[in-house]
Amino acid sequence: MASVKPQYDESSIRVLKGLEPVRQRPGMYTRTENPLHIVQEVIDNAADEALAGHARTILVTQHLDASISVADDGRGIPVGAHPEEKIPVVEIVYTRLHSGGKFDKGAGGAYAFSGGLHGVGVSVTNALSTRLQVTVWRDDAQWEIEFQGGERVSPLRKIGPAKGVSGTRVQVWPDPKYFDERQIPIPELARSLKARAVLLPGVTTVLVQEKTGQRQEWRYDGGLGAYLMESLEEQELVVPLWAQEGYAGSGDETFAEGEGGQWVLAYTAEGAVARESFVNLIPTSAGGTHEAGLREGLFQAVKSFVEQHGLLPKGVRLLPEDVFSRASFVLSAKVLDPQFQGQTKEKLTSRDALRLIATQVRGPLEIWLNRDVESGKKIAELAIRAAQTRQRSAQKVEKRKSSGVAVLPGKLTDCESTDLLRNEIFLVEGDSAGGSAKMGRDKGSQAILPLRGKVLNTWEAERDRLFANAEVHDIAVALGVDPHGALETVDFTGLRYGKVCILSDADVDGSHIQVLLLTLFFRHFPQLIDRGHVFVARPPLFRVDVEARAKKPARKIYALDEGELTHVLDKLRQEGLKEAAWSISRFKGLGEMSAEQLWETTLNPDTRRLMPVGLGRAGTEETSARFNLLMGRGEAAARRSWLEEKGHEVEVDI
């Protein structure tokens, strides 16, 4: 029987409405290992009420039917009709993406500081639940509304009077089909609630498990210091605990009043370090720019102290990681308009946060070090010892490499360091972009290798013929690792860089170059991927120049793509700016960026976006089959069929 080719016409284009995008691709909006994150979205709302000073208790209950409820004694979600949408606000919050009470950041806004502006928080919770029930106590009355599969099934109704009571209770039944594991990890949930109690002095957080009858309760009036010492498990401190806070004042010309943070810092001589950070109470397990700001402020203060007292031995160079290596900390940052990497909010990417925290940390720390000189010298001693260990390790690697090294490519601009853990090489598209990258890079640890034109499609290339191509030859020689198979024994002693970063334009041609290079690494250097050495840099496609107004200076905001640009413009409008207050530039390529812009957006480890390359859940076999379909010479017919079937899913950049 002849196969019927799929139809591709106007009816093939599908428009996803309401919460459909979340259900179609839940991984874009939440972690799908288990339902913890969609419950944390509800907890975040309760914590924001406490942060705003309206709630004193957050109660989380795991019920016998596997549902989870979160209750707070805050103001209660508004139940009146939205002035524009004409339906109850509580219904909008749970059924519309990009809605909520945290967009209004101006004077009189409901939340001065909150966990983010993605606006897809609890609507994602609703979308990925079989059932969700909201009870609100507000205006001396009790209200209730219910949803199933993201759709409202029971309209908002008044249950009865509730004199003098206010708050919100949300009960969630997560839909197991969207998650790898249906069970919520209770220890992780408990840690999250405990951390919120630490960050909200005087607020009580409670976890109840109905099945076991266990009740855990946390309340910390003391703050971050006791929490950090508990995490260090009674390790002996080299210097006294240093706790401090710093916030921008009303006269600050760069940051909004109240932006800043509080932190506690401890130094130990041995044992595991404990590090935890938060932004507006949101745990940031992957760190981000606020942690980078703490590291920068700490480094500059200690470096200044060391230089002032002449403590640095000859030939030793201090780096931020040396000063930071034995530091444990808890950092709680307050950022007016936080930007996170992804909806799961594990990493802060707001570039201004680095300067904000670094500024608040450096001054007070310098004062403390110079008041307590003995403590300052002990911290300096730990940092100098770490620097000496690092330099000795790098020297050993250099001796091992010195015999029989191939002549490095002439167009490679190498870095000064020989420390594999620090070294990075950027494979850059074109000589023009390569020139900007050379000027903007950190020459101590970043190497640049410009690639001329598109690399050879190496999917079916024989290994002994690879070096006939100049670009592939230069890449292999620069890396110091020979082509190999997935199961071969490979000599990695010659590897010269810990990170191999593909850096191409943020357009279709750039994506093609990425695919060609990923083909090379997957086919001929698979163990580099397996060991976590290969990355893809993500330069921005747009720059938004915002004019100065009032006390706020002019700003440059970078957007990765069209979606992020829309998000940036929405926020500028929420700030009260008119369309004429900003201009939008589209980068045609990396070569258009100045060295400073390329450093800030793509090369700076603290502010760039660098995606690790891995096989993920698909595994080697499925990935290999997909590469063969896309890159194999004999797969033209199958490739055409696949494009006809999947082509409508592509966002075309014309």
Q: Is the separation of the CB atoms in 116 and 29 below 8 Å? A: no
Give 439's Cβ-side CA count (13 Å radius): 13
Return the beta strands (E) in 587-624 as ranges: 610-612
Q: Is residue 63's pLDDT more than 70?
A: yes
Which of 296-305, 376-385, 429-438, 554-563 bottoms out in mean pLDDT, i.e. has the lowest?
429-438
Give me the pLDDT at residue 16, please.
39
Decide if 429 is catalytic.
Answer: yes
Containing H/E element for 235? Answer: none
C-alpha 199/C-alpha 219 separation (Å) is 10
Decide if 337 is catalytic.
Answer: no
- CB burial of residue 179 (10 Å; 0-12, 13-18, 19+): buried
Q: Is residue 591's pLDDT more than 90?
A: no
The domain limits of the chain are 20-218, 224-395
Predicted confidence band of residue 96 (pLDDT cuts 50, 70, 90): confident
Residue among 41, 505, 600, 606 flagged as catalytic: 505
Q: Is residue 422's pLDDT more than 70?
A: yes
Task: Please give the average per-residue pLDDT across 542-568, as a whole number.
Answer: 82
Give me the pLDDT at residue 320, please.
92
Place of tokens 């000859």: 314
Give me the pLDDT at residue 341, please.
73
Highest mean pLDDT among 79-83, 201-205, 625-629: 201-205
Which residues are paired to 552 by β-bridges?
Answer: 549
Give me the pLDDT at residue 648, please.
58
Predicted confidence band of residue 650 (pLDDT cuts 50, 70, 90): low
Residues above pLDDT 70, as percent of the chain: 86
Looking at every residue in the chain, the average pLDDT score rounds to: 83
| 3-class DSSP state of 376 | helix
Decide if 180 is catalytic.
Answer: no
User: Which tokens hold the place of 548?
Assistant: 């100065």
Predicted confidence band of residue 200 (pLDDT cuts 50, 70, 90): confident
Higher pLDDT, 81 or 384: 384
Task: Please give the average per-residue pLDDT across 52-60, as a whole number.
Answer: 93
Strand 499-503 with 534-537, pairing: parallel
Task: Please give the average per-residue pLDDT across 552-567, as a whole number.
Answer: 82
User: What CATH number belongs to 20-218?
Assistant: 3.30.565.10
Residues making up the chain, counted from first to last: 654
Predicted confidence band of residue 579 (pLDDT cuts 50, 70, 90): confident
DSSP single-letter state for residue 112: S
Task: Please give the average per-residue pLDDT across 242-265, as a whole number.
Answer: 88
Residue among 507, 570, 575, 592 flagged as catalytic: 507
The backbone torsions φ and ψ at residue 652, rounded to the nearest 5 degrees and listed phi first, read -80, 130
Other C-beta atoms lying within 10 Å of the C-beta of residue 582: 18
Nearest residue to 343 via CA among 122, 49, 601: 122
Higher pLDDT, 122 or 633: 122
Q: Is residue 424's pLDDT more than 90?
A: yes
State the architecture of 224-395 in CATH terms. 2-Layer Sandwich (3.30)
Higher pLDDT, 641 or 243: 243
Strand order in the sheet with 499-503: 446-451, 424-429, 499-503, 534-537, 610-612
pLDDT in tens, 105-115: 444 443 445 44
Decide if 653 is catalytic.
Answer: no
Predicted confidence band of residue 300 (pLDDT cuts 50, 70, 90): very high
Task: Please give the average per-residue pLDDT across 164-175, as a whole number.
Answer: 94
Residue among 41, 49, 366, 429 flagged as catalytic: 429
Give me the pLDDT at residue 100, please.
45
Containing H/E element for 39? Answer: helix 36-51
For 595-601, the CB contacts below 8 A with 24+ separation are 595/436, 595/437, 595/439, 595/440, 596/440, 597/440, 597/543, 598/433, 598/436, 598/437, 598/440, 598/539, 599/440, 599/441, 600/351, 600/558, 601/539, 601/540, 601/558
Task: Please give the average per-residue pLDDT across 551-577, as a whole number.
Answer: 80
DSSP character string of 43-101:
HHHHHHHHHTT--SEEEEEE-TTS-EEEEE-SS----SBPTTT-SBHHHHHHH-TT-SS
Which residues are paired to 205 by β-bridges?
Answer: 58, 218
Residue among 509, 561, 564, 592 flagged as catalytic: 509
Nearest residue to 220 via CA among 193, 241, 244, 246: 193
Q: Is the separation of the CB atoms in 513 and 450 below 8 Å? A: no
Which of 245-249, 409-413, 529-533 bottoms out in mean pLDDT, i.e. has the lowest?
409-413
Report CA-CA distances (Å) from 414 to 410, 435, 442, 517, 605.
Answer: 10, 13, 11, 20, 18
Return the beta strands (E) in 308-411 as ranges: 327-334
Give me the pLDDT at residue 166, please.
94
Which of 81-90, 298-307, 347-356, 369-378 bottoms out in mean pLDDT, i.e. has the lowest?
81-90
| 3-class DSSP state of 218 | strand
For the chain, the helix, strand and coil percentages under 3-state DSSP, each to the nearest 5: 40, 20, 40
Predicted confidence band of residue 646 (pLDDT cuts 50, 70, 90): low
Q: Is residue 404's pLDDT more than 90?
A: no
* Measured distance between the N- and C-terminal CA atoms of the chain, rounded to whole angstroms: 39
